[in-house]
């Protein structure tokens, strides 16, 4: 079966509603997907409380999708959970990112996934991860729209349509998944979790994303200039990853998303409607560059190994003591207990013998004091 993906060039967020409508019209319009009165959930990507503007789904982009969906149903909700388990921080992130005001203005409801009940979900034919506690709202809506922001990522090297499912499980479980599944296996676990949910349509904000060497929170703005839409998350991720110059067979969520059958990364099975994809400059994550270099020296047998938990291409984190405020959030969030807290000298340090390179310390450091080693 062919996956139809709509692609429209857009250098900025001006007239964004018209541009998203044009993208959806290539697929027959939103009325081709949503029936009048259906209960619709929008799942954007807020990423973190204090993240740079372009690490999160653009607010005007989300607002335009609400307006488009509202032409068919008024029963609209927005749900999300940032990368933190700190009580109340998700709600604060809603306010900081402008979601509370937007919901009030548009008269849609917000769902704080941090306080939602969970549904234990068995994963069918798991690659590695047999079950997940998924937030209940993901099971109760008539129609769910996935609204990812395209960015670089230290483990899956890109984050887009497939990886956006991670915002539908609690942060503590994300930590456990990092601990249990490393290297390529982490990407397999993300694909397994995606398969336990029901996203009906993806509309990707790849107009301005984030690239760079660290976590997306530390990166820099990347002008990519595209809106993508379709029902196949793997095809969407594959197209935008090609545009940004990645090798698809090195991106675990695409490689294993294709293998598991949640979508296709085979361009013979993808029909691109609208504008032609053109290569855009994108600064690849340093862990990805390490992987590319490593893959050139490895023999095929190692490259094709089915179960791969190798993390040798991932850099260790390091702490810039001059920026550290000794808040200890990194130690609280480290699933491997690899952060040594020295209360006497009010310093923290990383025990590399215990570190599993999950980078949850980076994501939880409000002072941006943790970097990947050069």
Q: Which of 6, 7, 350, 372 binds ligand SF4 (CB under 6 A)?
A: 350
Q: Which is nearer to ligand SF4, 232 or 315 (CB)?
A: 315
Q: How far is CA 261 from the centre of its chain?
A: 19
Other CB atoms within 10 A of residue 268 CB:
7
In the beta sheet, which residues pair with residue 132?
121
Q: Which is nearer to ligand SF4, 90 or 333 (CB)?
A: 333
Number of residues that bind ligand SF4 (CB under 6 A): 27
Tokens 């990522």 sit on residue: 153
Cβ(61)–Cβ(207) below 8 Å = yes
Tokens of 311: 């993390």
**Nearest distance from C-beta of residue 164 to ligand SF4, angstroms:** 22
Please choose, out of 197-205, 241-249, 305-313, 348-356, the segment that lies near ligand SF4 by the rule CB under 6 A.
348-356
Q: Which is nearer to ligand SF4, 13 or 326 (CB)?
A: 326
The verdict on 365 binding ligand SF4 (CB under 6 A) reads yes
**Nearest distance from C-beta of residue 332 to ligand SF4, angstroms:** 8
Query: 3-class DSSP state for residue 116?
Result: coil
Q: Which of 79, 358, 371, 372 binds ligand SF4 (CB under 6 A)?
A: 358
Pairwise CA distance, residues 213 & 216, whole Å: 8
The verdict on 190 binding ligand SF4 (CB under 6 A) reads no
The verdict on 217 binding ligand SF4 (CB under 6 A) reads no
The verdict on 360 binding ligand SF4 (CB under 6 A) reads yes
Give the count of alpha carbons within 13 A of 287, CB side only: 29
Give the count of alpha carbons within 13 A of 133, CB side only: 13
Pairwise CA distance, residues 147 & 45, whole Å: 7
The verdict on 177 binding ligand SF4 (CB under 6 A) reads no
Strands 149-153 and 201-211: parallel
**Nearest distance from C-beta of residue 6 to ligand SF4, angstroms:** 38
Q: DSSP alpha helices (H): ranges in the chain?
A: 16-25, 59-70, 89-96, 99-106, 171-180, 184-195, 233-243, 252-260, 286-297, 300-303, 329-333, 360-364
Phi then psi dihedrals of residue 357, to 5 deg: 60, 45
Q: Which is nearer to ligand SF4, 190 or 265 (CB)?
A: 190
The verdict on 20 binding ligand SF4 (CB under 6 A) reads no
The verdict on 148 binding ligand SF4 (CB under 6 A) reads no
Pairwise CA distance, residues 151 & 162, whole Å: 12
Query: 3-class DSSP state for residue 272?
Result: strand
**Nearest distance from C-beta of residue 323 to ligand SF4, angstroms:** 7
The verdict on 348 binding ligand SF4 (CB under 6 A) reads yes
Q: Which of 359, 371, 373, 374 binds ligand SF4 (CB under 6 A)?
A: 359
Please choose, out of 27-35, 48-56, 254-262, 332-340, the segment that lies near ligand SF4 by the rule CB under 6 A.
332-340
The verdict on 355 binding ligand SF4 (CB under 6 A) reads yes
**Nearest distance from C-beta of residue 262 to ligand SF4, angstroms:** 27
**Nearest distance from C-beta of residue 157 to ligand SF4, angstroms:** 17
**Is the alpha carbon torsion for 209, 137, 29, 97 positive or negative?**
negative
Footprint on residues 312-331 left by ligand SF4 (CB under 6 A): 317, 319, 324-330
Closest to 169 in 3D by CA, of 43, 76, 51, 50: 43
The verdict on 99 binding ligand SF4 (CB under 6 A) reads no
Please choose, out of 10-18, 247-255, 272-280, 350-358, the segment that lies near ligand SF4 by the rule CB under 6 A.
350-358
Cβ(20)–Cβ(206) below 8 Å = no
Contacting positions for ligand SF4 (CB under 6 A): 317, 319, 324-330, 334, 336, 338-339, 348, 350, 355-361, 364-365, 367, 369-370
């Amino acid at each position: 079966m062919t996956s139809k993906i709509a692609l429209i060039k857009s250098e900025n967020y001006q007239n964004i509603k018209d541009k998203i409508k044009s993208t959806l019209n290539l697929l027959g319009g939103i009325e081709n997907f949503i029936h009048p009165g259906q209960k619709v959930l929008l799942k954007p990507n807020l990423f973190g409380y204090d993240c740079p503007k372009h690490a999160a789904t653009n607010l005007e982009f989300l607002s335009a999708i609400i307006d488009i969906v509202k032409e068919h149903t008024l029963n609209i909700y927005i749900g999300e959970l940032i990368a933190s388990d700190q009580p109340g921080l998700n709600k604060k992130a809603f306010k900081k990112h402008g979601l509370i005001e937007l919901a009030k203005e548009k008269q849609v409801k917000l769902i704080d996934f941090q306080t939602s009940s969970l549904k234990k979900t068995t994963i069918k034919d798991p690659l590695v991860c047999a079950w997940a506690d998924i937030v209940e709202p993901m099971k109760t809506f008539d129609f769910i729209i996935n609204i990812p922001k395209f960015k670089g990522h230290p483990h899956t090297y890109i984050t887009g349509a497939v990886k956006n499912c991670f915002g539908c499980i609690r942060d503590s479980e994300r930590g456990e998944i990092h601990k249990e599944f490393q290297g390529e296996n982490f990407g397999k676990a993300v694909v397994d979790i995606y398969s336990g949910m029901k996203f009906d349509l993806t509309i990707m904000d790849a107009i301005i994303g984030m690239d760079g060497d660290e976590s997306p929170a530390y990166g820099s703005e990347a002008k990519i200039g595209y809106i993508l839409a379709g029902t196949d998350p793997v095809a969407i991720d594959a197209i935008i990853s090609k545009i940004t110059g990645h090798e698809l067979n090195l991106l675990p969520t695409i490689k294993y998303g294709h293998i598991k059958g949640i979508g296709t990364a085979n361009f013979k099975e993808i029909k691109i409607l609208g504008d032609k994809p053109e290569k855009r400059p994108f600064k690849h994550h340093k862990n990805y560059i390490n992987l590319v270099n490593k893959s050139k020296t490895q023999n095929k047998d190692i490259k094709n190994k089915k179960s791969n938990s190798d993390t040798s291409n991932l850099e260790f984190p390091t702490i810039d003591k001059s920026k550290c405020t000794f808040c200890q959030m990194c130690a609280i969030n480290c699933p491997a207990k690899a952060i040594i807290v020295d209360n006497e000298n009010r310093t923290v340090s990383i025990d590399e013998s215990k570190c599993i390179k999950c980078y949850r310390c980076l994501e939880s450091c409000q002072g941006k004091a943790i970097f990947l080693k050069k």
